[in-house]
Amino acid sequence: MEVQAVADSSSRRTKFILDEERMPRSWYNIVADLPVPPSPVLHPGTGQPIGPADLAPLFPMALIAQEVSAEREIEIPEPVRDAYRLYRPSPLYRAHRLEKALDTPAHIYYKYEGVSPAGSHKPNTAIPQAFYNKVEGTRRIATETGAGQWGSALSFAGALFGLEVKVYMVRASYDQKPYRRMLMETYGAEVVASPSLTTNYGRRVLSETPDNPGSLGIAISEAVEDAATRDDTKYALGSVLNHVLLHQTVIGQEAILQMEMAGEDPDVVIGCAGGGSNFAGLSFPFLGRNFREGTNYRVIAVEPEAAPSLTRGVYAYDFGDTAQMTPLVKMHTLGHDFIPEPIHAGGLRYHGMAPLVSLLKEHGYIQAQSVHQRASFEAGVRFARNEGILPAPEPTHAIKVAIDEALEAKAAGQPRVILFNLCGHGHFDLTAYERYLSGRLEDYEYPAEKVQAALAALPRV
């Protein structure tokens, strides 16, 4: 039986590998194809649309230009492509063994971004962000990290281009994942737990709540304060902004070519969504086809029940950070004051969502679902036991919905082609897996009252 199963599967293709030559030469900008224009970004003081000069203290001009660009294709500079070659193109897998375990007629594919040096999709934007900063003379970059994946990615990219990196790591993750901190330090970065004593805002938060577990919103405030108060320092964000989502589109562009190699077209495209970048990276090139060519890819963003901005938040102007230092963006938000429970998918603990992803959800071009952490870990373990790769806690949310789709296809007796983004590995997340395996992982109910209170503090625009 066992031998037969292996013999059957050996005749089927499992990995779809692109030659380096076929790595994308440009990023895909969905703004060029959107049926509805994006809302302007507003100045937090005046409530008026901001201009490049307002962002110049934080970002290099090349990234500001990308942030507001409506060009469909933006060329990837050669030094960035050269660094991408360290791990790109990333493989696409067909999950034959998971399909068999589920006894489903569905075909399941996953794009695996865990092959990058940092272990996730985050270097796809860390590398160009470090590159453009270097070209424009930045010496030092400050940033936040939730899961530790973004901090690792920027630390790695900083090492490649000779930039100092300071990382404000959300306290809950700092305590759960000491090895992530050590990886960042090995790349040469300086890491502090956020809230920290090194910024005015961090000191204020700690004086009011000494046991604060931190949040991405607080860590962003600290990193922005750091960059805004030093001439030699710029700020870098690992998600949410248009230019970050843009850089991630190498994922979906490669996946389109790899699905062609497999001779299939996905019915449904799935990604987990914290700030929205890995989800956008995989799905935007497919959505671009929907807009331009009339294809009908169904696209699902999956978020945690503990921070369900797309499924339960309001679509409104809000701050990207807790201290109200960032510009106002129109997005699905739970309120900038909202601090999600310390779930293990640290990268999904964010009160807001990328404006571009929010716009697509608001106008019905994508769907969204929320998942509890125990159900997502159950899916992650099931995946690991069949496919071998240990997923990061974040993409277990996408895996859960991919499995649900496969089981639905089985119940309906229908074929279905499912593609999801396995955006990172979980080798530094074993504490979370241990808690799950020993029955100590808790689900957090949707905190309706906390969200209500946070929404009451939304800025009036």
Ligand X SMILES: Cc1ncc(COP(=O)(O)O)c(C=O)c1O
Examine residue 150 and tell whether it contacts ligand X (CB under 6 A).
Answer: yes
Q: How far is CA 325 from CA 120, 129, 310, 371, in A?
A: 28, 21, 23, 31
Nearer to ligand X, 274 or 285 (CB): 274
Q: Does 163 help bind ligand X (rule: CB under 6 A)? A: no
Residue number, nearest CB to ligand X? 347
The reply to whether 242 sits near ligand X by the rule CB under 6 A is no
Nearer to ligand X, 89 or 274 (CB): 274
Question: Does residue 89 have a cis peptide bond before it, meaning omega lies within 30 degrees of 0?
Answer: yes
Residue closer to ligand X by CB (options 177, 416) is: 177
> By C-beta, is 104 or 152 nearer to ligand X?
152
Q: How far apart are CA 384 and CA 455, in angstroms?
A: 38
* Omega before 195 within 30 of 0, i.e. cis: yes
Contact window for ligand X (CB under 6 A) among 95-103, 125-133, 155-163, 267-275: 267-275
User: Is residue 147 a contact point for ligand X (CB under 6 A)?
Assistant: yes
Residue 348 binding ligand X, by CB under 6 A: yes
Nearer to ligand X, 168 or 279 (CB): 279
- Cβ at position 343, least distance to ligand X in Å: 12
- The CB-of-239 to ligand X minimum distance in angstroms stands at 3
Q: How far is the CB of 216 from ligand X (least distance, A)?
A: 8
Q: Does 369 bind ligand X (CB under 6 A)?
A: no
- A 10 A CB-CB count for 190 gives 14
Site mask, ligand X, residues 422-451, x = CB under 6 A? -xx---------------------------
Question: Does residue 249 bind ligand X (CB under 6 A)?
Answer: no
Binding test (CB under 6 A) with ligand X, winner from 270, 272, 401, 418: 272
**CA distances (Å), origin 245, targets 285, 334, 449:** 11, 21, 31
Range 91-130, binding ligand X (CB under 6 A): 120
Q: Decide if 318 contacts 311 (C-beta within 8 A).
A: no
CA nearest neighbour of 138 among 62, 66, 82: 62
Q: Which of 176, 111, 151, 125 is nearest to 395 (CA)?
A: 111
The verdict on 149 binding ligand X (CB under 6 A) reads yes
- Minimum Å gap between C-beta 11 and ligand X is 33
Distance CA 24, CA 88 (A): 10
Query: Which C-beta is closer to ligand X: that of 146 or that of 195?
Result: 146
Chain CA centroid to CA 334, Å? 18
Length of the chain: 461
Contacting residues for 57 by C-beta, under 8 A, at least 6 apart = 227, 228
Sole window of 58-66, 144-152, 158-166, 371-379 interacting with ligand X (rule: CB under 6 A): 144-152
| Cβ-contact 218, 322 below 8 angstroms | yes
CA dihedral 16, 254, 417, 9 (to 10 degrees): 10
- Does residue 376 contact residue 67 with C-beta atoms inside 8 Å? no
Among 273, 371, 406, 451, binds ligand X (CB under 6 A): 273
394 near ligand X, judged by CB under 6 A: yes
Cβ atoms 273, 358 nearer than 8 A: no
CB atoms within 10 A of CB 433: 20
Q: Which region, judged by CB under 6 A, interacts with ligand X, from 124-132, 147-155, 253-261, 363-371?
A: 147-155
Output 409 or 441, the one with its CB closest to ligand X: 441
Q: Which of 46-54, 178-186, 275-283, 412-420 is the region at the interface with ligand X (rule: CB under 6 A)?
A: 275-283
How far apart (Å, rounded) are the C-alpha atoms in residues 58 and 231? Answer: 10
Pick 59 or 106: Cβ nearer ligand X: 59
Q: What's the CA dihedral at 19, 152, 443, 430 to 10 degrees?
A: 80
Residues contacting 367, CB < 8 A, separation 6+: 298, 299, 300, 301, 361
For ligand X, give the closer residue by CB, 122 or 330: 122
Neighbours of 411 (CB within 10 A): 8
- Smaller CB distance to ligand X: residue 202 or 274? 274
Q: Determine the size of the site formed for ligand X (CB under 6 A).
A: 21
In the set 116, 133, 194, 278, which binds ligand X (CB under 6 A)? 278
Closest CB to ligand X among residues 133, 396: 396
Indicate the angle between helix axes 373-387 and 393-412, nearest 10 degrees.
80
Q: How far is the CB of 105 from ligand X (least distance, A)?
A: 29
Residue 304 binding ligand X, by CB under 6 A:
no
d(CA 385, CA 382): 5
Binding site for ligand X (CB under 6 A): 120, 146-147, 149-150, 239, 272-279, 347-348, 392, 394-395, 423-424
